[in-house]
Every structure is written in C-alpha cells, then in structure tokens.
Structure 1
Amino acid sequence: MLQSLRKISARRLGTCLSPFVKLTPWAQKCFYSPAVERKKIYQHVSISQGEGGFEINLDRRKLKTPHGKVLTLPSEALAVAVATEWDSQQDVIKFYTMHLTTLCNTALDNPTLRNKEQFIKAALKFLDTDTICYRVEEPPGLVELQKNEWDPVIGWAEKRYNVVIGSSTSIAGPKIPKETKDVFSRHLASYNSWGLLGIEFIISQLKSLVLCMGLIDRYLTVENAVLLSRLEEEYQIQRWGNVEWAHDYDLQELRSRTAAGTLFVHLCSENSTIKHKLLQD
C-alpha cells in the first residue's frame, strides 16, 4: 500500500493548484499568473483584423499582452473565444477565469523563450510518468477500475499511432520504447508552437500525454478525460466521501482548464472566417 501511495504522490506532484497555493517562479513564467481581480473599466468588446491577425478591442483600446505586445491572434475563431472571455466579465475582471487569454499571452510573449523542439521534448517527458500507465497492486477494486477504464484508452492510442505503450505496477513506471517516443515526436512536430503550448497545458492538467492525445483527436470528451486522470481520487472519494469545498472546486477547475486548452489547440490553427459582425449589442 505504501508503494502505491508513493507512486500516486510522485505522479501528482505539481498537480492542479488550489487558489491558496502560490505558483512557483517556473510556473509563473510558463503560464502567466496575472492579478486575481481588477475593476472593469471598458464597456464594449470588438474584434478587428490587423496585418498580423485578429485583434481584440476594449472600447477603442487594443488589448495587449503583459509584455506590451498587441494581442494578435492567428484565427478569427480564437479571437471570438478570447473576446467572449472579456465580454463575459462583470464589474470585476476575474483573470483566473480567462484561460484562453492566458494561453494567448504566453504564446505571444513566450516568457521562457522556448522553441518547437523544446515544447516537444517537454511533452514527451510525460510519457515516462503518464498517469494511466502507472498501476497499483492493491486494493483489488482500484486495480480492476484502472484496468477497465485505462486499458481501452491505451489500446486506442497504440492502435491509433501504431506504437507500444503498455503499463506497469513498478514505481519506476513502464519502459516506453524509443520507437514510441519517436512516433509521438513526429506527430507533435506537425503542430505549430501555439498548438504545442496548448498541448503542454493540457498535459500539465491531466498528467498524461495519452489522455491529451485522446482529447485532441476527439476520442475522449473533456469530462471523460478529466475523470480518467482523477481515477484514483474518485475511487477514494467514493470510498471515504467528498469534501465539497475542496474536491468539487478541484474537479470544476480542472475541467475548465482542460476544456480551454483543448479549445485553444483546435482554434489556434483554425483558418475559417466568421462572417457575421462579432459581439454586437
């Protein structure tokens, strides 16, 4: 049992943070952590097309990143989604609810100065500690639950990408073949740097490259992927009960972040143009 707990702790180190936990300097650089709240001083949100892409206007002022760059987005669909985040704010701007804006800021400012190769390398590291590849040896109920819920996802990924992934009960985790990593590396290389940022964001929420790929390929829904990533927690909640103010918040926040990351990956490469005028009264 102790070995199982150690494995769970190792995989969950750095998992989705509660609002009471201070972000490390690394996390603050990777994904901006702006002021929690600020009074709303704009009335209207609109979208315009500039030379480099689509821009968000708050009244007559262009929205800018923390580094002072004009927030220029690669697709109109993504611009609509980001503009909607700003349009939905009430008297106070709650930055912690604006995950798409945070991702766009990070993509444009690139505070860690990473290139595509570094994004891919960071994503591949999660294969060695992928949540659904680690299995417990007890209790029997959790063993069966992991097999029934996680094995089909691994089976899908192995067939989809023609690779070998497997699972392990060892604290060292499964030994992922180099050929498997090479396949995923080539697949990830097909995304631009914006898409890779979104993929890394999803992986950091779910602690699983396999679940992330299932989401991006539309094999899994956000709800399913989140529940699969929290399988051990959900098992313990069913057994010992739910602490509503903690467990419910963590679940909803994880769903929100995962959904935003998935939407970001799809929309940052969306080329279609929306014909109707946006955010009209």
Structure 2
Amino acid sequence: MMQSLRTITARHMALCRGLCAVQTSVSQKRFYAPPTERKKFYTNVSICQSEGGFEINLDHRKLKTPQGKVFTVPSEPLALAVATEWDSQRDTIKFFTMHLTTLCNTALDNPADKTKEQLIKASLKFLETDTICYRVEEPPALVEVQKQEWDPILTWAEDWYNVEIGSSTSIMGPVIPQETKEVFHRRLASYNFWALTGIEFIINQLKSFVLTMGLLDRVLTVEKAVLLSRLEEEFQIQHWGNVEFAHDYDVQELQSRTAAGTLFVHLCCSKSSVKRKLLQN
C-alpha cells in the first residue's frame, strides 16, 4: 500500500510545517545531532505500509536511520507527520528543523541502548529536581509570581494523581514520597518505548516532570508550559529588560521542541487500522 504525501490533510500540513518553522543548531545529549544541512536530493515524498509499520520514501529510495536501518515508524499518523517534515525542505535539507525525524531516529537506533525501564527511571529522576518545586524566598514579587503561576498546576497534579509532591525553598528541594514515585512509575509504564523516548525529550526541554504530565494530559498548552518553565527568567526580563531577538529566538525554539515532543508522544500512541484485501480463488 502506497500513499502519496499529497493526500495529507491540511491539518497535518499546518501543524507539522509549524514545527519546522523555527531553526536551531543546538544539539541535545541522548538524542541524535545529524549534519546541519545537506543539499536536497529528492523530489517526491511518500509513505508505504510494511510488515513492521510505515516507511518513508524519498522518490524511490527508502529513508534510513543514521545506523542504516530502514526508517519504519509504528503508526500512519506519525509517518505522515515525518513525511511532511521532509516535504517541507526546500533547496537544502535543514536537519535541525526536523525534530520528529530526530526523535524517530533516536527510538529506532537507540544509541544509548536504553530499555523501557531505564527510560522510565530517567524521566522519574526529574521529579526530584522539578523546576516548579524549587521556590525562592526573595524578592517578594517573584515569590508571589511563583505561587500564583506554579501552585495551580502542582495542585492539579497532586489531586489528579492522588499523590503528594510539594515544594521547597531548600536547595535540596522537596522530599518526594515513594508512593508518589510508584504512582508515576505506573503511569509511565502505560506508554510504549517510542512514547517514552518522546516523554524524556519533553522533560529535558522543560526541566519539569509535572509540566510534562500537564501537557500529556492536555491540561496545559505548549505555550503555557514553556512560559511556566521559564517563569523566573521571564520575571527578570520584565524587570531588567532583554536582548529582544535572543529572547524571542529562545522562546520560539523551546516551543518548537516541546510541541514536536508532545506531538510525537501522541502520534506514537495512535493506532492505525490496516485493511487487507481478501484473496479470492
């Protein structure tokens, strides 16, 4: 079964092109950092169904990972989104705009040889150093801003998951009860390996396990999650000013990466129905 990329819905195109709009050359550890750019060598992008899932074709060539594996993703929506990233490239392929492709390469090649359990533990470790759990004692204005902006999402997480998290002004942070860790361990264990790769990526962007859960449970928008993760920095900028271009660039880049990670997780959880024609004698 072959499906041309030209049949992708307008919604897919708009969303995925938006993720490609912001460009950055900053590489992240634990995730692939491919060459910055390469001259475009293909004209058409399409997807096809295979035994293992869905593949991406650049003209008549199968897309492959950095380790040479056939680029095969588990769901058709994810394949469409990745194909859109490749279709969005112009004269040169700007790999640093292709966050979904990078996440798929990470899941397929697994360069750190991580297991599902290791991904879960790596994500849970951020709960102990969660951005929104560390509070300042001064200045009073920032103390109040943190209370107004961070308390609601922290309260939501505690109520929704029936756990205790808390906050602290100590450099050691709050002590997270073992019962809380077990609840979130079960929550993460409900995701597949691919989705967990995306979850770890989001947490690395926001430096917050709680904000990531808010995103995945659709309590927060990407823009709100990014703003909350940068709360102290935004407070300082409002009082002392900023280098406008650098600030806008950083915010948009963080939004782009966070949006890509969130979309990746949701698409990895999408189920594709496969229709097969019955052979007649």
User: TM-score scaled by structure 2?
Assistant: 0.87
Please tell me whether the aligned partners of residues 64 and 71 of structure 1 are also in contact (alpha carbons under 8 angstroms): yes
**Equivalent residues in 2 for 1:47-196 (5 A)?**
47-196=47-196
Give the 3-state SS of the residue equivalent to 1:169 in structure 2.
Answer: coil
Give the 3-state SS of the residue equivalent to 2:182 in structure 1.
Answer: helix
Q: Distance in 1 between matches of 2:218 and 2:226?
A: 14
1:246 paired residue number: 246
Q: Distance in 2 between matches of 1:230 and 1:190?
A: 29
Q: Distance in 2 between matches of 1:107 and 1:20?
A: 21
Q: Distance in 2 between matches of 1:82 and 1:160?
A: 33
Give the 3-state SS of the residue equivalent to 1:67 in structure 2.
Answer: coil
1:8 paired residue number: none
Please tell me whether the aligned partners of residues 116 and 196 of structure 2 are also in contact (alpha carbons under 8 angstroms): yes
Deviation at 1:246, TM superposition (A): 1.6
Q: Distance in 2 between matches of 1:150 and 1:110?
A: 34
**Equivalent residues in 2 for 1:221-232 (5 A)?**
221-232=221-232
Please tell me whether the aligned partners of residues 222 and 259 of structure 2 are also in contact (alpha carbons under 8 angstroms): yes
Identity score, percent: 74
Give the 3-state SS of the residue equivalent to 1:55 in structure 2.
Answer: strand
1:6 paired residue number: none
Give the 3-state SS of the residue equivalent to 1:56 in structure 2.
Answer: strand
Runs of 4+ in 1 over 3 A off after TM superposition: 18-21, 272-275
Give the 3-state SS of the residue equivalent to 2:46 in structure 1.
Answer: strand
1:38 paired residue number: 38
Matched AA of 1:68: G
Matched AA of 2:94: K
**Larger RCO (CA under 8 A, 6+ residues apart):** 1
- Kindly provide the CA deviation profile for residues 183-226 of structure 1, in whole angstroms up to 9, marking residues without a partner as x: 10111011111011000000000000000000000000000000
Please tell me whether the aligned partners of residues 48 and 57 of structure 2 are also in contact (alpha carbons under 8 angstroms): yes
1:9 paired residue number: none
Q: Distance in 1 between matches of 2:91 and 2:24?
A: 21
Q: Distance in 2 between matches of 1:66 and 1:76?
A: 22
Please tell me whether the aligned partners of residues 37 and 94 of structure 1 are also in contact (alpha carbons under 8 angstroms): yes
Gaps of 5+ in 1: 1-17, 276-281
Deviation at 1:244, TM superposition (A): 2.0
Gaps of 5+ in 2: 1-22, 276-281
Deviation at 1:242, TM superposition (A): 2.2
Matched AA of 1:204: N
1:4 paired residue number: none
Give the 3-state SS of the residue equivalent to 1:47 in structure 2.
Answer: strand
> How many equivalent residue pairs?
253
- Kindly provide the CA deviation profile for residues 131-177 of structure 1, in whole angstroms up to 9, marking residues without a partner as x: 00000011111100000000000000001110000100011101111
Matched AA of 1:187: R
Q: Distance in 2 between matches of 1:20 and 1:44?
A: 26
What is the root-mean-square deviation in Å for CA atoms of aligned residues?
1.6
Please tell me whether the aligned partners of residues 198 and 264 of structure 1 are also in contact (alpha carbons under 8 angstroms): yes
Deviation at 1:89, TM superposition (A): 0.5
Q: Distance in 2 between matches of 1:263 and 1:242?
A: 31
Q: Distance in 2 between matches of 1:261 and 1:128?
A: 22
User: TM-score scaled by structure 1?
Assistant: 0.87
Matched AA of 1:166: G
Q: Distance in 2 between matches of 1:192 and 1:19?
A: 28
